[in-house]
Amino acid sequence: MCDTIAVVGEGRVLFAKNSDRDVNEAQFLQWHPASEHPQDSRLKCTWIEIPQVRRTHAVLISRPFWIWGAEMGANEHGVAIGNEAVFTKKRVSRTGLTGMDLLRLALERAETAKQAVEVIKDLIRIHGQGGGCGHESKRFTYHNSFIIADPRGAYVLETADRECAVEPVRGARSISNGLSIPGFARKHSDYLYTRVSECRRRRQVTQSLAEKAARPADLMAVLRSHEAGREYPRYRWLNGAMASVCMHAGGIATGSQTTASWVAELSPQGNRHWVTGTSTPCAGLFKPVRVEEPLDLGPEPVDRYDPSTLWWRHEVLARPIARNPERLLPLVAAERDDLESSWLANPPEPAQAFAEADRRLQRWTEAVRAVSTEDVRPWIVRRYWKVRNRRAGMPLPWDGKADRRS
C-alpha cells in the first residue's frame, strides 16, 4: 500500500511518496548512469524479458531489494514518478511487467512527464502488467496507478489490466490504493480490496493536507502523519494501522508498513530531492540526494538484519519506538526536526548529510535503548512483530517479553 502526492504551483511542482511494503522487505537507493545499449539487446525485468532501447537516461530509484523495478524515483531530466497498487475487477495476469518495472522503464526512457505517460501506456499495451508483487506472498498481485511529474506539471495515470485513464494534475492531487479518476473508477474498481486497503481514508488526509502544502517541509509532514486528528498510529485487528499515511503493520489480514519515503521540488531552475532511505518517516530523517551524484551507502540490504546497511540500522531505532511512540519518539523528534529544517534552508552535500545522519542515528538509538518501557500496542500487533523480528534475526533483547497492556 502507498500514497503519492503532487502539487502543481507557479514555477514549480512538489512531489512526495510513501512506499508501503512488507515489514522485512528492505528498500534501498540505487543510481544508474545514462547508458548506450547494443541494437537488438534484451532487458530482464522482474518477471519477463523485453527489448531494450538504444539509450537510457540516468536515474535514481528507491526499490525493494528483490525487484528489478522501483517504488519511486527520478531521472536526469527532472521526471519523478510514484507507483500505487490498485485493485480492479479485471483479472491480474500471472506474468507481465510489474508496476515498479513500468515506473523504472518510464524514468529510463522519457524526458518529460507527458512522454513517461506514453511510455507506460505503450509498455502495458505491448507486454501487459502482472506477476507476483508481494515479498511474503508472491501470490499478491494488483494493477497500478502512478503520479508522474516534471518541473512543468504532473499527471495521474490509472490502469485496469491493459486499459488506462489519464488526468492532468491541477493544484494538489493525491492517489492511494484505489482508482480515483471519475468514470474509470466506477467501471473498474474492486469494492472489497479497495475498502480493506483503507485507501479512501488515507487519501482524504493526504488530499486535505496537500492542498495546504507550499514547500517540501509541508509534504514531509504529510508523509509523517497518521490518521486525521491522531499524532500516533491506531491499530485495528484486521489491517493494523493501514489507515495511517505513515503506515505501521500489525493486522491479521495485512502487513504493510512504510518502508521508504521521498519528497522532491521540481522546477526549471533545478530539482531537489529528499529521501529517508529507511522505514517509518515519523521516526526517520529526510536527507538530500542528487540524481547525478551517486553515493556509496554500503551493501544492498535483504530481508535479514545486517548492521552494515542503512535500512537495517534504522530498524534498530524504529522498531523499539513503535512499541511506545508517545513515550519514545520525543527522544528523537525535536532534534531530528531542527536538523532537517537547517538542511532544507541550507542543503549540505549529500555525502555529508548521510554521514551526519548516521551519527545522529547511533545517538538516538542509544537514547531509546536506555529507556525501559512496555509495548503498548494490542496483543495481535505484538505477536505479529515478534514473528517478523525473529524471521529477520533482529537483535532486540526486549522482543517477546510479556507486555500485557493492550
Candidates 332, 263, 300, 305; CA nearest to 393 is 305
- Asked whether residue 292 is assigned to any structural domain, the reply reads yes
Q: What pLDDT, in 10s, does the model give residues 292-317?
A: 999 999 999 999 999 999 999 999 99
Q: What pLDDT, in 10s, does the model give residues 6-55?
A: 999 999 999 999 999 999 999 999 999 999 999 999 999 999 999 999 99
Kindly list the distances between the CA atom of residue 186 and the CA atoms of 178, 180, 189, 305, in Å, as whole numbers in the listed order: 11, 9, 6, 43
Three-state DSSP class for 179? Answer: coil
Q: What pLDDT, in 10s, does the model give residues 116-136?
A: 999 999 999 999 999 999 999
Q: What is the CA radius of gyration of the chain?
A: 20
- Asked whether residue 185 is assigned to any structural domain, the reply reads yes
Q: How far, rounded to the nearest angstrom, does the alpha carbon of residue 243 sit from its chain's CA centroid?
A: 15
Q: In this predicted structure, what is the pLDDT of residue 328?
A: 97
Q: In this predicted structure, what is the pLDDT of residue 404?
A: 38
* pLDDT greater than 60 at residue 167: yes
* pLDDT greater than 80 at residue 406: no
- Asked whether residue 325 is assigned to any structural domain, the reply reads no
* pLDDT greater than 90 at residue 180: yes
Can 2 be counted among the known catalytic residues?
yes
Q: What pLDDT, in 10s, does the model give residues 154-164?
A: 999 999 999 99
- Asked whether residue 60 is assigned to any structural domain, the reply reads yes
Q: In this predicted structure, what is the pLDDT of residue 315?
A: 98
- Asked whether residue 369 is assigned to any structural domain, the reply reads no
Instruction: Give CA–CA dist 236/239, Å, rounded.
Output: 6
Kindly state the average pLDDT of the residues 386-392.
96
Which residues span the domain enclosing 98? 2-297
Kindly state the average pLDDT of the residues 258-284.
98
- Asked whether residue 385 is assigned to any structural domain, the reply reads no
Kindly state the average pLDDT of the residues 59-88.
97
Q: In this predicted structure, what is the pLDDT of residue 403?
A: 41
Task: Quickly state the pLDDT bin for 238 (edges 50, 70, 90).
Answer: confident
Between these two residues, 253 and 182, which has the higher pLDDT value?
A: 182
* pLDDT greater than 70 at residue 203: yes
Indicate the DSSP class of residue 153.
E
> What percent of the chain clears pLDDT 90, i.e. is strictly above it?
87
Instruction: Give CA–CA dist 113/74, Å, rounded.
Output: 11
Q: In this predicted structure, what is the pLDDT of residue 301?
A: 98
- Asked whether residue 68 is assigned to any structural domain, the reply reads yes
> What percent of the chain clears pLDDT 70, i.e. is strictly above it?
98
Kindly state the average pLDDT of the residues 204-208.
94
Q: In this predicted structure, what is the pLDDT of residue 334?
A: 97
* pLDDT greater than 70 at residue 400: no
CATH number of the domain enclosing 156: 3.60.60.10
- Asked whether residue 279 is assigned to any structural domain, the reply reads yes
Kindly state the average pLDDT of the residues 61-77.
98
Mean pLDDT of the chain: 94
Q: What pLDDT, in 10s, does the model give residues 82-118?
A: 999 999 999 999 999 999 999 999 999 999 999 999 9
Q: Are 226 and 233 in contact (CB under 8 A)?
A: yes
Candidates 165, 142, 184, 154; CA nearest to 17 is 154
Q: Are 123 and 48 in contact (CB under 8 A)?
A: no
How many alpha carbons lie under 13 Å from residue 347 in its C-beta half-sphere?
A: 17
* pLDDT greater than 50 at residue 276: yes
Three-state DSSP class for 28? Answer: strand
Mark 170-179 as b/e (b = at least 16 C-beta within 10 Å): eebbbbbbbb
Candidates 299, 263, 303; CA nearest to 284 is 263
* pLDDT greater than 80 at residue 397: no
pTM, to two decimals: 0.95
Q: What pLDDT, in 10s, does the model give residues 330-379?
A: 999 999 999 999 999 999 999 999 999 999 999 999 999 999 889 999 99
- Which residue among the candidates 2, 45, 133, 164 is catalytic per the annotation? 2
Burial class of 39 by CB neighbour count within 10 A (0 to 12, 13 to 18, 19+): exposed
Do the strands 42-44 and 35-36 form a parallel or antiparallel pair, or are they unpaired?
Answer: unpaired
Count of domains observed in the chain:
1
Task: Quickly state the pLDDT bin for 396 (edges 50, 70, 90).
Answer: confident
